[in-house]
Amino acid sequence: MVAKITVNADQSVGTISRHIYGHFAEHLGRCIYEGIWVGEDSPIPNTRGIRNDVLAALRGLNIPVLRWPGGCFADEYHWKDGVGPREQRKRMVNTHWGGVVENNHFGTHEFFDLCELLGTEPYICGNVGSGTVQEMQEWVEYMTFDGESPMANWRQANGREKPWRLKYFGVGNENWGCGGNMRAEYYADEYRRYQTYVRNYGENRLYKIAGGANVDDYHWTETLMRQAGAYMDGLSLHNYTVPGGFEVKRPALGFDEAEWFETMKLALHMDELIKRHSAIMDQYDPQKRVGLIVDEWGNWFQVEPGTNPGFLYQQNSMRDALVAGLHFHIFHRHCDRVHMANIAQTVNVLQAMILTEGEKMLLTPTYHVFEMFKVHQDAEALALHLDADVYSLGEDSIPQISGSASKRANGTIDISLCNVDPQQEASVTLQLRGLAAGKKVTGRVLTHADRNAHNTFEQPETVKPHVFEGVTKVSENGLSATLPPMSVVVLTLV
Ligand code: AHR
C-alpha cells in the first residue's frame, strides 16, 4: 500500500491553537477523586492533596487548558458548597454519576491550585440547568474581582488574597439534555440572559462559551448563532466515538477487525461534523471570530467488567491511540474555526490519559499520542496534500493514511502520520516543497502487533513510543518511509 504526501513548508494555512490539546476533568467516577485528588492526609504522595505521580505525568503533556467541573455535573454543581474549610463543606449526592457521595473537598480553590501546578489555563463551566443567574454572577465575582465586594471578601477569608486569572467560561453544558432539556430557541435566550452577568472585572477578560450542539444537531448551531452569536466568543460541540451506538456500546478490549474499522470510520466523521457546523457559523460569522469549541470528544465504550456503570471507567488500547491521532489531524485541518478541543476525560474516565488503582498509575496509548503530538501546539499548520490507498473491509473503505504537518517558531517541521490499517504497512513518499536542504530527520512511532494491545498495572509499558526506524531514504527535498500497520508516527525535521 502506498501513499504520496506533499508538504508545502513555506505555505502556512493557519495556527494550530495549543488549546486543541485541551482536557476535561469532571466530578465523575474516579477522575477527580482518586485520579487527581487524594487529600492531604493520603499515604499517596501529594501536593496539597493532588497526587504527585499524576501531576508529574500530566506535566509531560503541556496541557494548555482544563475544563471543569463538568459535563453533566456542572449543571448540578453549586460552587458555594465547595469553598471554605473542607470539613465543613456540604456533602451531596452525585445523582448523575453513580449516586455516590460528593464531599466537595475538591472545589474552586483546589481546581485553581491544580491549574497553577500544571501551568494550565482554567476553563470553568457554570450551572444554567439548576443554578441561578445570581449564583453564576457571584462565582465569577468570587474568582476574578480584585477589590472590596462580598464575594471577593469571602474569597480572601477563604485564604486567597488575589483574584485568579480566568479566561474561559462556559454558560452551561449540554443544555439540550442533562443541562436542562431545553430547546435551542429557549437556551439561546437563557444564554443571552446568563452571560449578561458574567462580567469582566478589572483587567480580567472572559471568553464566553455557549453550550453547543449534540453531534449533528445543525438546527441548534443555526439557532444559537442567529439569536445569540453576537454575545459569545465560542460555541461548543460534543461528539463521542461510540461503536455500536449508545444503546449497545461495545467493550474497550477484545474487539475484532470489524469493530476496529467501525471505530476508525466513526472517528473520521468528526471532519464532516466540523465542516457542516462551520458552514453554518460562516453565514453569521464570516470573520471566524467565534470559535468552535469541541469540548467533549473521544471513545466511549462499555465500562470495565465489575466496575460501577456510572463511573465510565474503560481500558485504552492501540485503537484509542489511532482515534486520538485522527482527531488531531481533523482539528488541525480546521484550525481556522476550531479554537479549542477537550478530550473526555483526563484520568480514569472514558478515553483517559492515565488510569490509577490505589497508589498505582499507568499511561495509556492515548497519553502517548498527546505527548508525541504536543510539538504541534501553537505551530503553523502547513499545506499538506495526501494521495493514499484505502483501507477496505468488506464493501466499505476509508483512507489508510492520515497526516498533518506544522512548523514551529524555530523552523523545526513536524509531520504526524497515522496508518489505520491493522494488517498492511504503508510505503510513504514525502515531498517537501519550499524547504532549505540539509534537514536532519528523526522520528518516533507508537505501534504494536496486536490491535488490542494496552497497558496494565502489571505491564504498564506494553504500548509506548519507540524511535522510528522506518525512514528508508532521505533526499534533498523529501524522504521515503514505511509505516507499520496500525501506527502513529511523528517525523521531525530540524
Ligand atoms: O463525559 C461524560 C459526559 O458526557 C458529560 O458529563 C456530558 O457532558 C456528556 O454527555
Mean pLDDT of 307-329: 98
The pLDDT tens digits of the residues spanning 76-92 come to: 999 999 999 999 999 99
Distance, CA of 482 to CA of 425 (rounded, Å) = 7
Dist. CA 349–CA 33, nearest whole Å: 11
Annotated active-site positions, please? 174, 296
Pocket test for ligand 1, best of 175, 215, 296 (most atoms within 8 A of CB): 296
**pLDDT on residue 355:** 98
Question: Within 13 Å of residue 78, how many CA atoms lie on the same side as its CB?
Answer: 13
Nearest to 172 by CA among 63, 73, 273, 320: 73
State the pLDDT confidence band at 437, using cuts at 50, 70 and 90: low
Which residue has a Cα nearest atom 5 of ligand 1?
A: 71
pTM for this entry: 0.97
C-alpha to C-alpha distance for 482 and 348, rounded to whole angstroms: 34
107 CA to centre of own chain: 21
The pLDDT > 70 percentage for the chain reads 100
pLDDT tens per residue across span 82-140 = 999 999 999 999 999 999 999 999 999 999 999 999 999 999 999 999 999 999 999 99
Candidates 343, 346, 239, 490; CA nearest to 21 is: 343
ipTM of the complex: 0.99
Q: Is 309's pLDDT higher than 70?
A: yes
28, 32, 66, 72, best to mutate for ligand 1 pocket (most atoms within 8 Å of CB)? 72
How far is the C-alpha of 50 from the C-alpha of 69, rounded, in Å? 16
Which residue minimizes the CA distance to atom 2 of ligand 1?
71
pLDDT in tens, 209-268: 999 999 999 999 999 999 999 999 999 999 999 999 999 999 999 999 999 999 999 999
